[in-house]
Structure 1
Amino acid sequence: MRLFGHPLHPMLVHFPIALWAAGSLADALTLGGIEGARSIAWLAIGGGGAVALVTMTAGLLDYAELDDELLPVAQRHMALMGLAWLLYAVAFVWRSHGLAPGTGSILGPALCGFAGFVALIAGAWQGGQLVYRFGAGVAR
């Protein structure tokens, strides 16, 4: 999927990565005693999940155009990013009270988010391999 001749997926990936990383950092700050970071984590993780849905849709459209030899790397990328989305979604719902951040313990949701961050980094590495090592989506 392209916008003005440029692939859309690489343009969008920075937003969920940045939001989820900010959410995990805010969780670490909350666990460190900075209570004001709790609502920032909730917003960042929820926003990252929402933007990731659009990003994943663009990625699926790009997947359909990949050469067959790149499919194993792309499938690892998709599996890891899907796992990251799932872990962050669980962390978001776990910490929510309706449509607002909850007031319960943050430890469980934060640990779930930290696991999501590990999956996010591993999945982003695989995505980087697709582009920078194999040239997926690069105009030749």
Structure 2
Amino acid sequence: MSTPPRRAKEPVTVLAGPYGHPLHPILVTVPIGAWVSSLIFDLGSHLVREPGFLTEGSIWLIAVGVIGALVAAMFGFLDLLAIPGGTPAFRTGLVHMGVNVAVITAYAVAWAWRLAGDGLAAVGAGQIALSAISLAGLAVSGFLGGKLAFRYGVRVADEVTQARGFDLNS
């Protein structure tokens, strides 16, 4: 049986991505990009005479982000299953997941709120505030995800494999 650190580096299934190359980190770029862009569209809706195209674009970006986040979450959950329970890495993973669930929920609420509003007007201050707070939560989650990968080495190749990249004789 492999040691706990080694176990956390191995995928629990091929669906999570191959050894040393998990799928979750690349998939999170979709919701991050969509949600950051939606906030830019929100702010831009206050700078133009006819903001409807930016308001509608923001609604679509939020929806793309929610769908992308749900897909990324499935792969992140597979990576969480590789971490031995009761460890600091596992607890960090649980907090990372909890913050992500809160952020996804906040964006789902934001999406519903916007659908109920006037799609031709500039985005409201409350909606912008919700997006900004949600992005702050996303930043906290990203910090925790970075801690999992870069401090604890979850789903990262082991040191022997990494050392091959620095061998001058290879």
TM more than 0.5: yes
Higher RCO (Cα < 8 Å, 6 or more apart): 2
Q: Which residue of 2 aligns with 1:122?
A: 140
In the alignment, structure 1 residue 25 sits paired with structure 2 residue 40:
yes
Q: Which residue of 2 aligns with 1:94?
A: 113
1:105 to partner: Cα distance: 6.3
1:19 to partner: Cα distance: 0.7
Q: Which residue of 2 aligns with 1:49?
A: 66
Mapped contact 1:92–1:109 kept (Cα < 8 A): no
1:69 to partner: Cα distance: 2.6
1:112 to partner: Cα distance: 1.5
Structure (1 or 2) with the greater helix fraction: 1
d(CA) in 2 for partners of 1:31, 1:77: 33
Percent identity between matched residues is 28
1:3 to partner: Cα distance: 3.2
- CA deviations 1:95-140 (Å, max 9, x no partner) are 0159xx8346622322211211111111111111111121111121
Mapped contact 1:2–1:8 kept (Cα < 8 A): yes
How many residues get paired?
138
Q: Which has the larger radius of gyration?
A: 2
Q: Root-mean-square deviation (CA), in Å?
A: 2.1
- CA deviations 1:42-75 (Å, max 9, x no partner) are 1111100011111001111111111323012112
TM-score of the pair, normalised by structure 1: 0.87
Q: Which runs of 4+ in 1 moved over 3 A?
A: 31-34, 101-105
TM-score of the pair, normalised by structure 2: 0.73
Q: Which residue of 2 aligns with 1:13?
A: 28
Q: Where in structure 2 are there 5+ consecutive unaligned residues?
A: 1-14, 159-170
Q: Where in structure 1 are there 5+ consecutive unaligned residues?
A: none
Segment drifting more, 53-62 vs 104-113:
104-113
